[in-house]
Amino acid sequence: MPILMNPFEWNYSYQNFIQLSQTYKQLRSVSHINKRIFYYFSLATLSGYPLYRQLANSINGEFSTGLTNNINSESYFYDFINNCADPVLTEPLKKAYETAGRLEIGNQFPINSFVLQDSSIFNLQKLKGKSICLIMLEGPKSKISAYKDVIPKFSQDEVEFIIARLPGAWMEGKMDSTILKMPNVTYIELADKSIKSKLLLYRNKIFMLDKWFRIVENNAEDPMTHKYYGRASEFEKSLRKTIEAKRFSKAEKTAMLKTTGWSLGSILFTFLGGLWIYKIRVRRIKMQEVAKRRIKELEIKAIRSQMNPHFIFNALNSIQSLINGNQFKEANIYLAKFAILLRGVLNNSEKSRISLSDELQAVELYCQLEQLRFEFKFGITIDPELNCDLIEIPGMIIQPLAENAVVHGLSGKGNLGNLDIQVKWQNGNLYISVSDNGVGLPTEITDTLSQKGFGLKLVEERINILNLDRKEAKLTIENRINTDGTIATLIIPID
């Protein structure tokens, strides 16, 4: 009666009385205590705080063995949380439920190190690669001798036995010294009192950890408890199971292969899709480039179709001048050389580019024809490092420059006229200069190319087309410094 009249429900005597009286009443009703019967027996015989206190203790005790094997306890837990409004009872039970989830078989062991009573740290990571039997000792040290016959059956390389005495554990008796001397046994005394709640320890408890610190057994059979009932072999079976644990289970391997297969399939599909899009884009760009190149070739052909009649008209005009001056012999020579020049021009008319040697040969033949009319002197100087047969340039691009110098600069100089053509190679560019000692350019002319005739306009257009390929072709015409005449400089980048 004094206990029942105690107003403090948290009092240990009060709670212990409820526990013992409930067990006594159940034993009088049935021959043994069954977990399911105990739960419903409490519902039928208790009410108020005693009922919820008893149920909380019962469910909390069941969580120490994990959730996998306690499906009923998990359902009882949710039923309890939904019906009990006292946070003093529900909050500790919720924490115990979360801890039990972390201690499930297959999970990583939640503790990597222990704080010992001498303030040192015992790190479990140093045992990585070895199976571990972690014996959390709550009872007397003397009874640890029950392991004396089991430990020698396992080598040091197979399993490490760690006997951890909990804070406040019974000091009764002495531990068998022969066990401590075994090479695969480590004895430690823990100082952290919160370890009990972290591992749900309410009595002696054994954890079996594989080589990767995964929990194989979270409440292994204790030979110290069952040796007299012929069940000590269960402890050995748990050890064998721990030692033989694989890195991945069949279900994990299947899931991993499935995930890997889907990942590789997705990567392959993405790669093939990207490759297909890339090829389509490259094909489209190539088609655009072919179209641009074709347009450029047509533009060049159109310009050359204009340039050739222009050149022929000037040549015929020169022949007419010779005939009108009764220079019939010179006219015949002019016609013969003009035929040779015209044949070369016609042979190159279908080519967008011709060799530098062919172009210079045509220019030389043209200058020889014009010498019959104007009696000037000319010379062509070529850089010895250049191989004119290997370098290709647009056809009929130098001839208009020579024609411009002869017709507009040297026509009135007679035998005093001089035309100098130089071809050089510098920094990947072909430099062609055409200089004369003629009358020079009038100072009032600002746009040289637009004022110096049809031939130079065509050259300018061809340079613009060349620059469509991101080249830097350039033509400049200016008066010579400190002397008479003009100089035309043509710069053509060579691939």
Domain range summary for the chain, segments of one domain joined by +: 12-102, 113-246, 292-493
Supply the pLDDT for residue 71. 56
pLDDT of residue 109: 92
Tokens of residue 481, six digits: 């410094």
pLDDT in tens, 34-63: 555 666 677 777 777 788 888 888 888 778
* pLDDT computed for residue 8 by the predictor: 54
d(CA 418, CA 409): 10
Looking at mean pLDDT, say which of 139-143, 256-260, 406-410 comes out highest: 406-410
Residue 201 has pLDDT above 70, yes or no: yes
20 pLDDT exceeds 50? yes
Residue 110 predicted with pLDDT over 50:
yes
The answer on pLDDT for 218 being more than 50 is yes
- Cα 389 to its chain centre, rounded Å, is 50
Spatial separation of the C-alpha atoms in residues 203 and 85, rounded to whole Å: 29
What's the pLDDT tens digit per position in 339-366? 887 787 777 766 778 899 988 988 898 8
Q: Quick one: which of 66, 209, 61 has its CA closest to 135? A: 209
pLDDT tens figures, 170-198: 655 677 778 888 999 999 999 988 888 88
- pLDDT higher for 203 or 108? 108
For the domain made up of 292-493, give the CATH fold: Heat Shock Protein 90 (3.30.565)
Mean pLDDT of 414-441: 90
CA 110 to chain centre: 33
For 128, the token pair is 């990585």
Name the pTM for this structure: 0.50
Distance, in Å, from the CA atom of 67 to the CA atom of 53, rounded to the nearest integer, reads: 21
Predicted confidence (pLDDT) at residue 483 exceeds the cutoff of 70: yes
Q: What is the pLDDT of residues 111-147, one digit of tens each?
A: 999 999 988 999 988 888 889 999 998 877 767 777 8
- Residue 488 — very low, low, confident or very high, per pLDDT cuts 50/70/90? very high
Rounded Cα distance, 152 and 156, in Å: 9
Q: Do domains 113-246 and 292-493 have the same CATH topology?
A: no
**Amino acid 27: pLDDT:** 67
The predicted structure's pLDDT at residue 229 = 46
**Predicted pLDDT at 39:** 67
CB atoms within 10 A of CB 132: 21
Report residue 318's pLDDT band, with 50, 70 and 90 as the boundaries: confident
- Check residue 87 and give its pLDDT: 87
Specify the pairing of strand 486-493 against strand 429-436.
antiparallel
pLDDT of residue 204: 84
Residue 33 pLDDT grade (very low, low, confident, very high; cuts 50, 70, 90): low
Domain 113-246, CATH homologous superfamily name and number: Glutaredoxin (3.40.30.10)
Nearest to 436 by CA among 457, 458, 407, 460: 407
Pairwise CA distance, residues 270 & 252, whole Å: 26
- CA-to-CA distance for 200 and 60, rounded, in angstroms? 9
